[in-house]
Amino acid sequence: MKKVSLIIALVMSIAAIDMSNAQTTQKAHQQNPYTLVYEGAITENVKGKVNIYPVTYKIKEITIVANVYAPANFDSSKKYPTLVIAHPNGGVKEQVAGLYAQRLAEQGYITITADAAYQGGSGGEPRNVDKPANRIEDIHAMADFITQYKGVDTSRLGLLGICGGGGYSLKAAQSDKRFKAIATLSMFNSGVVRRNGFMNSQFSTIQERLKEASDARAQEAGGGKIMYMGDTQLTDKQIAALPFDLYREGFEYYGKTHAHPNSTFKYTKSSLMDLMTFDASTNMDLINQPLLMIAGSKADTFYMTDDAFNKATNTKNKELFLINGATHIETYWKPDYVLQAVNKLVNFYQINL
């Protein structure tokens, strides 16, 4: 009887936690029905102000969810410069990509940011596939959709990629000349890091990890369990002990201060077969559009921006802009750093779009 009572108490406790979590989620949705988690986010569409419009479209059979931000006093009979914005690895449109989409819409741009296929609120199975070809196609597809949107001036289409989305934006822009001006913020070269490790710390295990990825794909092909990377839960103490600012601050941003239920670090282990053979900085000479690359002066990821920037030898208009004192993750949310980045982006797009 005592054991039954203990089980009942445990079930009731779990139910109470679930109810509390549900109430918290419901309250958050009431405060922001668009589930945006950044400071100053739109909570309702108001006439005469920047408005947000959730949209869907298809990449082949996969449904993509996106948000379009329209500038204040938007008039669909007029033509507006327009920006495609690609989100970071593991991120979703409601986080930093949405923040920059809204801030740039406040400056008169139509903007769009979408959840990558297989990720966030978009469709695709298995979940959290993270292949470079998919992420690059996501960017092309955002351009496909937004260039058909009323009010868009297709001759003034720009691109902004953030973190991993920055690396994929560089690659997309090499071939997609619809983009007339290219910018990145805190660019992260996903393939190089997945292959060599952050700060080139995993050279010695490259072949071992490729074998594990190959085995994971074989298991998937045989109908077995999907294996994942990056789904380890860390304690605060473990997070504090991480050797790089990117990961310490990233766990805080994605796990606490700007957490979103659709955002996750995990990705399929089989994706490493594609990631580890990818390098965003190859063929940079194919970019002949104006190029702006922004990074924090204290970002431990800066070496990736620096490498890609130096390889962009065929554009006559390129600039590297450092935000003094900023780390990688701080460019996502810290008001002063965001303001500096937005002002620089606006100046760049005004000149080049």
> pTM of the full predicted structure?
0.91
Helix 96-105 / helix 335-352 crossing angle, nearest 10 deg: 50
Name the stretches of the chain with pLDDT < 50: 1-27
Task: Give the max Cα distance, the chain.
Answer: 80
How far apart, in Å, are the Cα atoms of 170 and each of 43, 82, 285, 287?
Answer: 32, 18, 11, 8
Backbone φ and ψ for 147, nearest 5 degrees, come out as -70, -10
Res 234: pLDDT: 86
Residue that the structure tokens 């998919």 belong to: 134
Is-cis flag, bond preceding 261, omega within 30?
A: no
CB within 8 Å of 344: residues ≥ 6 apart? 292, 294, 321
Mean pLDDT of the chain: 92
Total length of the chain: 353
Task: Specify the long-range contacts of residues 246-250, CB closer than 8 Å, at least 24 apart.
Answer: 246/198, 246/299, 246/300, 246/301, 246/327, 246/328, 246/329, 247/198, 249/327, 249/328, 249/329, 249/330, 250/328, 250/329
Res 30: pLDDT: 55
Beta-bridged to residue 69, according to DSSP, are 52, 111
Helix residue ranges per DSSP H, 254-317: 272-275, 302-311
Q: CA 147, 149, 152 angle in degrees (round to 5)? A: 65
E-only strand ranges, 115-180: 152-162
> Whole-angstrom Cα distance, residue 333 to residue 336?
9
Res 178: pLDDT: 98
> Whole-angstrom Cα distance, residue 47 to residue 106?
14
As a 3-state breakdown, the chain gives helix, strand, coil percent values, each rounded to 5, of 45, 20, 40
Res 141: pLDDT: 98
> Whole-angstrom Cα distance, residue 248 to residue 256?
12
Beta-bridged to residue 159, according to DSSP, are 84, 182
Res 152: pLDDT: 98
Res 232: pLDDT: 81
pLDDT tens per residue, range 235-265: 889 888 988 999 999 999 999 999 999 999 9
> Which residue in 146, 142, 87, 136 sits closest to 283, CA to CA?
136
> Whole-angstrom Cα distance, residue 96 to residue 101?
8
